[in-house]
Amino acid sequence: MAGIPDLDLNSGATIPQLGFGTWQIPPDEAEAAVAEALRLGYRSIDTAAAYGNEREVGAAIAGSGIPRDEVFVTTKLWNTDHGTNEARAALEGSLGRLGLDRVDLYLIHWPVPSNDRYVETWQAMEGLRDEGLVTSIGVSNFNVEHLDRLADETGTVPAVNQVEVHPYLQQEALRRANADRGILTEDWSPLAEGQPFDEGVVKDAAEAHSKSPAQVILRWHLQLGSIVIPKSVTPERIAENIEVFDFALSGEEMNAIAELDRGERTGPDPATFVAP
């Protein structure tokens, strides 16, 4: 297995460029899936309070025998936990379920602009970072205007903006805005529910490199410079998704995939999404 590169975060820490996503992994499958990912060489796990599987993610990490400082753990603050006291309670809850005294990255899951509490929440997260409960803080599903309010009203630029990116929603402007601000883009739903697997340009590249369509798409994310966090509960796919460091797409192949963009979301719009 080829090594997963580390990327530098603006906090001074580093993050593996490829991690393991856990959304929609039910609790009774999560420990086995995360354990398999760690066994195969993944060293970054993405979970969230809202996923309902932090306890099982923590159990898999503890059971892996891998030293704590060799596994990068991300979790997220849910929409109903915006606010100063709420943020502390939310993080304490996540740490308790994970069985950890610190997470590597804590993200505001959605900005929920209609509540207008994300700046206050961010200031609370700065405090939690200063206490050592979190190494780096970041955001998810933030548009440029939300990022700029954080920069204008607080002293900390997010380390990461985790947003929906895949061949049908390439988010070039938002990725550039993140980069201009020193924020790494982390691509969620990178495989877009498998829909782009049948695209001719993806199939052609897969054949040319003797790789699967999923591997071609993950490679495209990596060559954009993004962090990418594919999810699978299928051992063969968990293995396949990490075998993406032994080939490179050509400039022509990257350009052909760029042509697939159609601005199509699989998930909610961050400008309007409220807590369910």
Ligand X SMILES: NC(=O)c1ccc[n+]([C@@H]2O[C@H](COP(=O)([O-])OP(=O)(O)OC[C@H]3O[C@@H](n4cnc5c(N)ncnc54)[C@H](OP(=O)(O)O)[C@@H]3O)[C@@H](O)[C@H]2O)c1
Query: Is residue 114 close enough to count as binding ligand X by CB under 6 A?
Result: no
E-assigned strand segments in the chain: 6-8, 14-16, 20-21, 44-46, 72-77, 103-108, 134-140, 160-164, 184-188, 227-228
The piece of 54-62, 64-72, 144-152, 237-245 that touches ligand X (CB under 6 A) is 237-245
52 Rama sector, left if φ>0, alpha if ψ -120 to 50, beta otherwise: left
* Residue 46 or 253 with smaller CB distance to ligand X: 46
Of these, 35, 119, 157, 233, which contacts ligand X (CB under 6 A)? 233
Residues whose CB is less than 8 angstroms from the CB of residue 116 and which lie 6 or more positions away in sequence, other chains included: none
Q: Which is nearer to ligand X, 121 or 140 (CB)?
A: 140
Q: Is 21 in the site for ligand X (CB under 6 A)?
A: yes
Q: Which residue is nearest to ligand X (CB)?
A: 21
Catalytic (active site) residue 118: no
36's tokens: 């398999």
For the CB of residue 266, give the shortest distance to ligand X in the complex, in Å.
Answer: 7
241 binds ligand X (CB under 6 A): yes
Draw the binding track, 46-85, toward ligand X (x: CB under 6 A; -: no contact).
x---------------------------------------
Q: Is the dihedral of CA 202, 208, 210, 216 positive or negative?
A: negative
CA 120 and chain centroid, separation: 23
Task: List binders of ligand X among 186-215 (CB under 6 A).
Answer: 188-191, 194, 212, 214
Indicate whether 23 belongs to the interface with ligand X (CB under 6 A).
yes
Distance CA 38, CA 19 (A): 10
Q: Of 209, 249, 242, 262, nearest to 36 (Cα)?
A: 242
Please state, in angstroms and rounded to a whole number, the distance separating the CA atoms of residues 167 and 89: 37
Confirm or reject binding of residue 232 to ligand X (CB under 6 A): yes
Residues taking part in catalysis: 51
Q: Which residues bind ligand X (CB under 6 A)?
A: 21-24, 46, 109, 140-141, 162, 188-191, 194, 212, 214, 229-234, 237, 240-241, 267
